[in-house]
Structure 1
Amino acid sequence: MREYTLTAELIMAYGEHLKNQEHCAGTVEKYLRDTRAFVRWLGDGRMTEESAAAWKEHLQNLNYAPTTINSMLAALNGLFRFLGWDDCRVRFLKVQRRLFRESNKELSREEYSLLLATARSMGRERLELLMETICATGIRVSEVRFITVEAIQLGRAEVALKGKIRTILIPNKLARKLMKYARKQKIVSGEIFLTRNGKGVSRRQIWAEMKALCKKAGVAPTKVFPHNLRHLFATVFYKVSRDLIKLADILGHSSVETTRIYLLTSGQEHQQQMERLGLVL
């Protein structure tokens, strides 16, 4: 049985590889965190083709959720693929497709409106516009930097990530609000959402500001994070258009199956649908 040794240098090289593949900073950070957790579990970094399978069993014994385990295994499999250690790759757990999203994680339109109103009352114009921009266009938080003065003037942003380029349309009403904000901030070109130092607002900062806002708004923290705004966009867009293929293109998904996950109804809505069947007499 062949033995391998994982070193800090190899993991660093993997991190650079992920960046070169244009994965977002959050994904790179998570993959490296999961990989280092595996190395700590190994102890000395030495492993065989059976080590990853043993790691999977270890995570199951710790009662990690199956989806969490699979996400951690994805990080490892990516590493092994990068290193050419294909015999070390491990199978994912089989997870039944979910039928609905948990209600405590579902952001409603009413709660979204409450968040915007709270940000407005606090004088947090940048945060209000950030949330509106993500929710009205469906962009990822890592793609906020593509919202520039030039993009607003054109009414569309060209987003280039993960080797793909897609066009994001900016609604007219949003474009007017963003241009008004840019003029007020004396931003004549480039990114709209900047810190006081003139740098682009980071994903971590957006996350932290939204978490602080939810307390003021009285909205559950489990519902308030940037990606949930993207989910809300997907849900509303599909209800209006009923066009899954177009939605997948807008969101930048390579697979329609990924888009389907965004359209899961809440547990409460699913329950109501079951009740309307009228099969209990």
Structure 2
Amino acid sequence: MRAPDIDDFLAMLSAERGAAANTLAAYRRDLEAAAEALADLADANERDLAGLGEAWCVLAPSSLARRCSTLRQYYGFLIDSGYRRDDPSGGLPRPRVRRPLPRLLSREQVDRMLVTAEEEAASDEPQAVRMLALLEMLYGSGLRATELVSLTLDTVPRDAPLLHITGKGGQQRMVPVSTRARHALSRWLELRPKGTRYVFPSRDRHISRVRLFQLLRGLAGRAGLPPEAVSPHVLRHAFATHLLEGGADLRVLQTLLGHADIATTQIYTHVDSARLVELVNARHPLGPGRMRGPDRDGQTAARPLATDGKAD
């Protein structure tokens, strides 16, 4: 039986899981790197895979973990295909990776970018209006960079404040658009070049993710922010963070962001630490200002442990 190769594996991911092009490209890079390090990728045994720890010792723990995850899926595919009966992935190195916390922008920093974009768009110069629309959509709807730049006109209904988004893995979701973002988008739709189905066209396609990245960094610099601190994904983080700070439910946020697993969404809960400390200080019996002071005899009055007079 012919060994299923990398292309066969990627074809399965595309057909059965609806993996996006960027995801497929990342899987290909990981598998090709493994193929360079192993004499025979499809027939490697546990000892062969254990040697990858030394071969890939220069990689960051997160990169090593991603490659190992790709290989586990690849060997699972070989088993499902009937090519292998054993799973050699037990020999893969097991790096311990702490999930990195997202970079953050404060509300004040986002406001500075919005004010700068609004001032520049006041001239009605098309590129400036486009920049405002892009910024409002990133921060107002939490879209991924690819989701934003690839928007087509049919996904932006004029009679409802919702976008029809196809995200990672072909998952579809409805994303609400804020009033500000809707207004900025309407201004841009009146100025955008005609004859193309893309909301943000560039030649015969749409603007690229790289170009979006460049535009945002340029705006950040003009707003007095460090350009390296701003990216499309950082604004997506800001959208999620500020919604949570405003009291949004984690499940609702999961739906808005298009996360398949709520564990991915839970990374944002760390950003509300200041609000949690404030809540404890304001509501907990031992919080500042809530302890009863000394009574007239100089003794501190004790607060009862339970209202029904019974011990817990």
TM-score by length of 1: 0.76
Structure showing greater Rg: 2
Shift of 1:147: 5.7
- The yes-or-no answer on 1:173 pairing with 2:180 is yes
Compared CA separation, residues 212 and 189, structure 1 to 2 (3 A): closer
Shift of 1:116: 4.1
- The yes-or-no answer on 1:262 pairing with 2:259 is no
Q: Who is 1:49 aligned against?
A: 45
Compared CA separation, residues 73 and 139, structure 1 to 2 (3 A): same
Q: Is the 8 A contact 1:211 1:225 kept in 2?
A: yes
Among 97, 105, 109, the alignment partner of 1:95 is 97
Compared CA separation, residues 130 and 36, structure 1 to 2 (3 A): same
Shift of 1:23: 2.5
Shift of 1:174: 1.4
Q: Report Cα offsets for 1:83-111 as digits up to 9, x if no partner.
A: 3356133564343566xx37xx3233333
- Measured in 2, the distance between the counterparts of 1:214 and 1:176 equals 22
Q: Who is 1:33 aligned against?
A: 29
Among 57, 62, 66, the alignment partner of 2:61 is 66
- Measured in 2, the distance between the counterparts of 1:43 and 1:213 equals 49
Shift of 1:136: 0.7
Structure with the higher helix share, 1 or 2:
1
Q: Who is 1:226 aligned against?
A: 232
- Measured in 2, the distance between the counterparts of 1:147 and 1:166 equals 15
Q: Is the 8 A contact 1:32 1:75 kept in 2?
A: no
User: What are structure 2's unaligned runs of at least 5 residues?
Assistant: 122-126, 288-312
- The yes-or-no answer on 1:141 pairing with 2:137 is no
Task: Give the paired residue count.
Answer: 261
Compared CA separation, residues 115 and 173, structure 1 to 2 (3 A): closer
- The yes-or-no answer on 1:132 pairing with 2:136 is yes
- 1:181 counterpart SS class: helix
CA RMSD of aligned residues (A): 3.5
Q: Who is 1:22 aligned against?
A: 18
User: What are structure 1's unaligned runs of at least 5 residues?
Assistant: none
Between 1 and 2, higher relative CO (CA 8 Å, sep ≥ 6) is seen in: 1
- Measured in 2, the distance between the counterparts of 1:137 and 1:237 equals 11
Shift of 1:112: 2.8
Shift of 1:57: 4.4
Shift of 1:138: 1.3
Shift of 1:234: 0.6
Q: Who is 1:239 aligned against?
A: 245
Shift of 1:187: 4.7
TM-score by length of 2: 0.69
Identify which range, 177-186 or 18-27, moves more after superposition: 18-27
- Measured in 2, the distance between the counterparts of 1:44 and 1:150 equals 46
Q: Report Cα offsets for 1:225-249 as digits up to 9, x if no partner.
A: 2111111111011111241111111
Compared CA separation, residues 173 and 219, structure 1 to 2 (3 A): closer
Q: Report Cα offsets for 1:160-188 as digits up to 9, x if no partner.
A: 34243211111223112212210122559
Q: Is the 8 A contact 1:138 1:234 kept in 2?
A: yes
Q: Who is 1:185 aligned against?
A: 192
Shift of 1:58: 3.3
Compared CA separation, residues 37 and 215, structure 1 to 2 (3 A): farther
Q: Is the 8 A contact 1:141 1:227 kept in 2?
A: yes
- 2:206 counterpart SS class: coil
- 2:172 counterpart SS class: strand
